[in-house]
Amino acid sequence: MGNTVPSLFAAIVGRDPSLPLVTFYDDASGERAELSGATLANWVAKTANLLVDGCGLGPGDQATVWLPPHWQSAAVLLGAWSAGLTVAYGEPTAAGAAVEFASLSVVEAGVPAGPPDRFVLGLAPMGMPLREVPAGWTDFVADMRRHGDHFPGAPVGDDTVALVDPDGTPFTHAALLERAAARAAELGIDGGRVLIDADVYPWPVDWLLAPLAAGASLVLSTHTDLAKLPGRAESEQAAQIVGPTV
């Protein structure tokens, strides 16, 4: 399926773009959102075009991402990797970042001074834009939608650094996919449709890349009501549950 995150994602979407690829549940808000491969690919392409055409960024630049597990977070991460950017995820320092993505709750709590290109995500149902945008930030959804639906690609090689862990350890695309495949095996993800409790597994290698590395379709559950997991797995035709019992 390829040795970079963009090539892996393209291969999965290409199998059947109409099939559900990410289904998202938030038991705190009651939200359910389902994205086909084609729909998620559209968000990813727009995000990559935002970064390349809108911000003038590309391989060698770093994106700081302060977002929880969410379908919009998947679009941001995959868009950044498609554009060749290195992602620092999970409340990392903003030092050296060329662009920053943060949830509204993180922005309201206060974040370190970051780069000029700073995008805030309200993570609202249906991908709705914010009603009020914090000073010094740009509404990601509103700005992203202005960009093209097709991303021609960036020179992303398997030796391009894709992710920097909070401890500063860099992972190339090839190393990151090896890590994701190993994590999929550890979690018992072997394809098909998998339900992941992201409250237990909030790291994107677990909730996003491991399923993709295994060629799986993802049902992502947040603020999870554990009593709902068995019924949710049945209704979503997920043969596997990756959660507290794993």
- In order of their start, the domains of the chain are 5-242 (3.40.50.12780)
Average pLDDT, the chain: 93
Give the pLDDT confidence of 127-144 residue by residue, as tens digits. 899 999 999 999 999 999
Residue type, 137: W
Per-residue pLDDT, 14: 96
Full-model pTM: 0.96
Is the pLDDT at 160 greater than 60? The verdict is yes
Per-residue pLDDT, 168: 84
Is the pLDDT at 93 greater than 90? The verdict is no
Strand arrangement of the beta sheet that strand 62-66 belongs to: 138-139, 117-121, 99-103, 62-66, 86-89, 161-164, 170-172
Give the pLDDT confidence of 55-64 residue by residue, as tens digits. 999 998 999 9
Per-residue pLDDT, 105: 92
CB-based contacts of 210: which residues, under 8 Å, 6+ apart? 180, 181, 183, 184, 187, 189
Using an 8 Å Cβ cutoff, are 203 and 90 in contact?
yes
Give the pLDDT confidence of 34-92 residue by residue, as tens digits. 999 999 999 999 999 999 999 999 998 999 999 999 999 999 999 999 999 999 987 65
CA-CA-CA-CA torsion sign (104, 123, 11, 202): positive
Using an 8 Å Cβ cutoff, are 89 and 48 in contact?
no
Rounded Cα distance, 69 and 210, in Å: 14
Q: What are the C-alpha distances in Å from 59 to residues 154, 161, 208?
A: 8, 9, 22
Give the pLDDT confidence of 109-126 residue by residue, as tens digits. 887 767 889 999 999 988
Is the pLDDT at 204 greater than 90? The verdict is yes
Per-residue pLDDT, 111: 76
